[in-house]
């Protein structure tokens, strides 16, 4: 029977573990600790190796057993025997003391990588990210840092000089490309390159949440900044706010924004997929009822608006409405900043620096449009011309930044639009929030808690909605490879629909307070976002915790 089981190995100090394996003595530990006081940067296992307190083979084997990995003695000529730099950048290998040295399978899908510190989760995550972009899995081995250093000494001798600067420049190109391609593969909408005091943090926004994926050491930040500026068309010498665009990836448009903070220049890359499939309104989360959709959008002589804060899918909804309305007999023209998805059959106009939304809209009115999409109503001039278009026989679609549908009326008033014009032309306002969908691959069924049942009861009573929980189950987010271990995959819209009937028009024109308009809307069947969100919990699409995170109720 073993002295201790495998589950406890990691918690046992290395010295104690090696004594139990009869590889060293207590005196050896005292010698190693004394050496570590003079060399605090060295790990204790490396010190046992440096002081030759036991054989390398036995020591590495024991380290591998302790941490749950295999072991490998790296020969100095590994770079000659295997094209390591084709898989991991040389400066990354040098800094983190990791080296790929072969394939674990005949199909060459799993690469063997030797780590001097296999317990460093950040390093493992970074290497995994680099290999993932090459469609490779990783098999981890334990080695000594001195073996890795010796390999680079040999490489430097062969080149006859230090390779740090040249290789760093080359590898920065590969690193930036790896990060961008990984973000694409993981469905990220944005990439954040964030300088901090001693490092640069890289985060992906996936399904609305920011996730840290790796960090870059301080000495390489200038290389990364230079590379990002070069590929996005920014001025290298200028520090501070700039905008650029990356067109090097055939399936994506990438908008780039830089801003200087106290530690350097931060970059945010917005990934926009070209010619992506436009989802139908029902897929986005709208009621699966053709009549509701037609009453909201199949209109003339009016304006329909999608209301939500930034990043809540307003533009995606507009494209889905276009898909619903598009026919060969209808002339649809859009004004966008920028054009995010190119749609065959639409006349899409991109706003330029010299021509505003309002200027484009004036011209479009002379182009015989049936339906006009205005990317955003952001000022009085655009709002008034859009209303004029709606009053003269066109159907106008646009977005506005408000917290709910009824507040869109207040927002238009604050922009300077008269109550009469709002009441005469506003037909529909859709408000929405994006909540994460539970991953279908790993979600686990469970019973509703008493607290959750009470929340359904409170919302149902407050808004006169009947939620039938009888015999229903809910689900918890678990996490798997399919969903990046988040428990969620993609997002769905919780929506509220305000259709402005004759009575609401009269109230708007009469300039009654928004509270009175809200009361009248409830009587006419309007229900707030939270009702649809709770129904999606009941349907097993999302969770109450996710709803709480996005909605105040």
Full 3-state SS string of 404-417:
CCCHHHHHHHHCCC
Beta-carbon contacts of 271 under 8 Å, excluding residues fewer than 6 positions away, are 180, 183, 184, 188, 189, 190, 191, 252, 254
Q: Bridge-partner residues for 205, per DSSP? A: 190, 210
Q: Is the pLDDT of residue 217 over 80?
A: yes
Q: Is the pLDDT of residue 528 over 60?
A: yes
CATH number 3.30.450.90 is the correct assignment for the domain at 163-273: yes
Mean predicted confidence (pLDDT) in 116-133: 86
DSSP string, 223-288: HHHHHHHHHHT--SS--S-EEEEE--STTEEEEEEEEEETTEEEEEEEEEETTPPPPPHHHHT--S
Q: Is the pLDDT of residue 182 over 60?
A: yes
Instruction: Decide which of 533 and 95 is more confident.
Output: 533
Confidence of residue 158 (pLDDT cuts 50, 70, 90): low
Burial call 257-286: b when 16+ CB within 10 Å, e when fewer? bbeeeeebbbbbbbbeeeeeebeebeebbb
- Percentage of residues in the chain having pLDDT higher than 90: 42
Q: Smallest Cα–Cα separation from 134: which of 103, 94, 98? A: 103
Least confident range of 295-304, 421-430, 468-477: 295-304
- Percentage of residues in the chain having pLDDT higher than 70: 94
Mean pLDDT, the chain, rounded, equals 86
**Would you kindly state where each structural domain of the chain is located, as residue ranges?**
6-67, 78-153, 163-273, 281-435+491-527
pLDDT for res 281: 86
pLDDT for res 157: 65
pLDDT for res 237: 79
Helices 450-463 and 529-538 pack at an angle, to 10 degrees, of 140
pLDDT for res 2: 39
d(CA 306, CA 431): 6
d(CA 409, CA 527): 16
pLDDT for res 31: 82
Q: Is the pLDDT of residue 282 over 90?
A: no
Highest mean pLDDT among 94-103, 154-163, 288-297, 334-343: 94-103
Q: Is the pLDDT of residue 416 over 80?
A: yes
DSSP string, 119-138: T-HHHHHHHHHHHHTTT-EE
Confidence of residue 275 (pLDDT cuts 50, 70, 90): low
pLDDT for res 163: 32
Q: Is the pLDDT of residue 166 over 50?
A: no
* Strands across the sheet containing 110-115: 70-71, 137-142, 110-115, 98-103
pLDDT for res 164: 33
One of 3.40.50.300, 3.30.300.160, 3.30.230.30, 2.60.120.10 is the CATH number of 78-153, namely 3.30.300.160
d(CA 256, CA 125): 25
Phi first, then psi: give them for residue 141, nearest 5 degrees: -125, 155
Mean predicted confidence (pLDDT) in 166-170: 35
Q: Is the pLDDT of residue 165 over 50?
A: no
Instruction: Decide which of 159 and 12 is more confident.
Output: 12
Highest mean pLDDT among 20-24, 33-37, 284-288: 284-288
Q: Is the pLDDT of residue 162 over 70?
A: no
Which residue's entry shows tokens 């006009």? Answer: 372
pLDDT for res 484: 77
pLDDT for res 211: 86
Which pTM does this prediction carry?
0.65
Instruction: Decide which of 117 and 52 is more confident.
Output: 117
pLDDT for res 268: 97
pLDDT for res 246: 92
d(CA 282, CA 345): 22
Peptide bond into 338 cis (omega under 30): yes
Q: Is the pLDDT of residue 352 over 90?
A: no
* CATH code given to domain 281-435+491-527: 3.40.50.300
How crowded is the C-beta side of 188, counted as CA atoms within 13 Å? 25
DSSP string, 486-531: SSEEEEEEEEEEEE--HHHHHHHHTT--HHHHHHHHHHTT---HHH
Length of the chain: 553
Q: Is the pLDDT of residue 44 over 80?
A: no
pLDDT for res 41: 66
């Amino acid at each position: 029977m073993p002295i201790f089981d495998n589950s406890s190995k990691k918690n046992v100090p290395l010295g104690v573990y090696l004594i139990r394996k009869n590889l060293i003595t207590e005196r050896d530990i005292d010698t190693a600790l004394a050496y570590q006081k003079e060399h605090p940067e060295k790990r204790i296992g490396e010190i046992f190796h440096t002081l030759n307190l036991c054989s390398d083979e036995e020591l590495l084997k024991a380290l591998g057993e302790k941490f749950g990995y295999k072991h490998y003695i790296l020969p100095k000529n590994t770079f000659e025997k295997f094209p390591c730099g084709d898989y991991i950048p040389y400066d990354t290998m040098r800094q983190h003391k990791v080296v790929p040295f072969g394939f674990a399978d005949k199909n060459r899908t799993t690469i063997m990588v030797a780590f001097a510190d296999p317990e460093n989760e950040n390093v493992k995550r970074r290497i995994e990210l680099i290999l993932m972009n090459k469609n490779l899995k990783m098999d981890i081995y334990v080695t000594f840092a001195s073996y890795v250093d010796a390999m680079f000494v040999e490489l430097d001798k062969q080149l006859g000089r230090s390779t740090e600067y040249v290789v760093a420049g080359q590898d920065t190109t590969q690193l930036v490309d790896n990060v961008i391609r990984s973000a694409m593969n993981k469905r990220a909408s944005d990439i954040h390159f964030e300088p901090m005091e001693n490092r640069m943090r890289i985060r992906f926004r996936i399904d609305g949440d920011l996730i840290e994926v790796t960090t870059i050491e301080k000495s390489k930040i200038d290389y990364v900044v230079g590379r990002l500026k070069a590929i996005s068309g920014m001025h290298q010498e200028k520090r501070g706010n700039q905008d650029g665009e990356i067109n090097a990836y055939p399936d994506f448009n990438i908008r780039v924004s830089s801003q200087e903070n106290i530690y350097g220049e931060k970059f945010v890359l917005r990934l926009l997929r070209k010619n992506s499939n436009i989802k139908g309104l029902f897929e986005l989360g709208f009621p699966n009822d053709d009549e509701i959709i037609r009453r909201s959008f199949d209109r003339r002589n009016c304006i329909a608006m999608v209301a939500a804060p930034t990043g809540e899918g307003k533009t995606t909804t507009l494209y889905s409405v276009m898909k619903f309305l598009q026919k060969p007999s209808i002339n649809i023209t859009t004004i966008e900043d920028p054009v995010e998805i190119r749609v065959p059959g639409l006349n899409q106009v991109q706003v330029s620096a010299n021509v505003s939304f309002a200027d484009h809209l004036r011209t479009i009115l002379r182009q015989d449009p049936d339906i006009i999409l205005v990317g955003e109503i952001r000022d009085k001039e655009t709002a008034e011309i859009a209303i004029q278009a709606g009053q003269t026989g066109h159907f106008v679609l646009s977005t506005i930044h408000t917290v709910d549908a009824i507040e869109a009326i207040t927002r238009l008033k604050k922009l300077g639009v008269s109550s009469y014009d709002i009441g005469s032309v506003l037909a529909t306002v859709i408000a929405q929030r994006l909540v994460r969908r539970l991953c279908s691959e790993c979600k686990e069924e469970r019973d509703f808690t008493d607290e959750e049942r009470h929340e359904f009861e409170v919302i149902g009573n407050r808004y006169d909605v009947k939620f039938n929980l009888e015999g229903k189950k809910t689900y918890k987010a678990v996490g798997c490879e399919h969903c990046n271990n988040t428990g969620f995959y993609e997002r769905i819209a919780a929506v509220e629909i305000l259709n402005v009937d004759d009575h609401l028009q009269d109230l708007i024109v009469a300039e009654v307070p928004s509270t009175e308009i809200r009361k009248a809307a409830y009587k006419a069947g309007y229900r707030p976002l939270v009702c649809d969100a709770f129904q999606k919990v009941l349907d097993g699409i999302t969770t109450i915790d996710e709803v709480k995170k996005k909605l105040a109720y």
